[in-house]
Amino acid sequence: MPHRLISHRERLETCLSGELPDRPPVALWRHFPVDDQTPDGLAAATAAFQRTYDFDLIKVTPASSFCLKDWGADDAWRGNPEGTREYTRRVIIRPEDWTRLPLLDPSSGHLGDQITCLRILTAEFAPHTPVIQTVFSPMAQAKNLVGGEVLLAHMRRSPEALHAGLERITQVTLRFIEAARKTGIDGIFYAVQHAQYPLLSPAEFEAFCRYYDLRILEAVRDLWLNILHIHGSEIMFEQVADYPAAVLNWHDRQAEPSLQQARQTSTRVLCGGLRQWETMVLGTPADVRAEARDAILVTEARRFILGTGCVTPITAPSGNLLAARLIVDETITP
């Protein structure tokens, strides 16, 4: 008897429940430089990408500056193959500047533009395909407001000032999420960038990241498809493994734990299995299929979403993207 066609939403709901879906879900996402400078442009590029590859979820990926430009940050497109932009203007120069960040209105400016983008996408793809919005942690936003090295100097020399800034960033982020959820999104993709031993000690992460992270994740606990992204290669996996999110995503091919190790210690849905550069950009479709099959095998296709550890570079060949999408159709479960 042929399988009943199910929606992407139903497949992911089955995956999150711990049951075996008809096939493993798969999702890749990327930046859309230049297009991401207007809400219509980002929505159109994201929609075209989804129509082409028909992934099981749509992760909306604006430039990281979308949440900072209303504070005065600026950036430029200079050809980075990940599709990211370079910051050309920082907002924070001296530690006392953290205390002067104004409270932003998520219905106007660049934040309002992102809400418009979400409305366009959810109007087309809901309810059959989940849509999730990228949200950067307060510490990640702070890094882009001041610059990475200066951020660490302020953290260690002027901690009270930085905490004042993180508090204001958290308040604005919560306001933005409240506006975003009204568009019908299914969750957020929460990007944590400082759970890395080369950047912070565990005590520093606890003091400057975890408190603010949990406030944001608690505010979206009722959304069903929140993904926690842990960025980097030397990550503090244990520090964030208990964060309230349905799905964990990290550079599993470059960072410990591996998918197999994580599966032994976590009941969360795991998203990964494919290397961004070595496989998706520099590999062949055969390489993509082999790496995907290995990931599906070690997870037994249960509580697993095939994807990359971070954004798929914009230089990834279309054939490799298509191979990632089609391989799951070859592993249909009973």
In a domain, 200, yes or no: no
279 is written with which tokens? 């496989």
Q: Give the Cα separation of 98 and 206 in Å (integer).
A: 20
3-state secondary structure of 59: strand
The answer to whether residue 8 is domain-embedded is no
pLDDT tens digits for 55-83?
A: 999 999 999 999 999 999 999 999 999 99
277: in domain:
no
Proportion of the chain above pLDDT 90, given as a percent: 97
Crossing angle of helices 318-327 and 285-299, rounded to 10°: 30
How far apart are the C-alpha atoms of 254 and 105, rounded to whole Å? 39
pLDDT at 292: 98
Cis peptide before 257 (omega within 30 of 0): yes
Which of 101, 92, 133, 102 has its CA nearest to residue 229? 133
Residue 176 falls within a domain, yes or no?
yes
The pLDDT value given to residue 5: 83
How would DSSP label each residue in 252-318?
Answer: TTTSSSPHHHHHHH--SEEEEEE-IIIIIITS-HHHHHHHHHHHHHHHTTSSEEEEESSPPPTTS-H
Mean pLDDT of 77-93: 98
All residues at 6 or more sequence positions from 288 whose CB lies less than 8 Å from its CB, including other chains: 274, 279, 280, 320, 323, 324, 327
| pLDDT at residue 332 greater than cutoff 60 | no
Q: What is the pLDDT of residue 1?
A: 32
* Farthest-apart Cα atoms in the chain, separation: 68
Q: Is the pLDDT of residue 85 over 50?
A: yes
Residue-wise pLDDT tens digits, 234-251: 999 999 999 999 999 999
Whether pLDDT at 191 is above 60: yes
Confidence at residue 2, expressed as pLDDT on a 0 to 100 scale: 40
**Residue 35, domain member (yes or no):** no
Asked if residue 3 has pLDDT above 80, the reply is no
**pLDDT(272) > 60:** yes
Q: Tens digits of per-residue pLDDT, 15-59?
A: 999 999 999 999 999 999 999 999 999 999 999 999 999 999 999
pLDDT at residue 333 in the model: 55
CATH code of the domain containing 136: 3.20.20.210
In a domain, 9, yes or no: no
Give the pLDDT band of residue 334 (cuts 50, 70, 90): very low
Average pLDDT over residues 117-128: 97
How many alpha carbons lie under 13 Å from residue 291 in its C-beta half-sphere? Answer: 27
Evaluate whether residue 132 is within a structural domain.
yes
Domain span at residue 141 reads 40-191+205-218
Whether 116 is covered by a domain: the verdict is: yes
Rounded to an integer, what distance in angstroms lies between the CA atom of residue 275 and that of residue 292?
10
What sign for the dihedral angle of Cα 240, 281, 47, 128? negative
**Residues near 161 by beta carbon (within 8 Å), at least 6 away in sequence:** 95, 96, 98, 99, 154
Percent with pLDDT over 70 in the chain: 98
Q: For the chain, how many structural domains are there in total?
A: 1
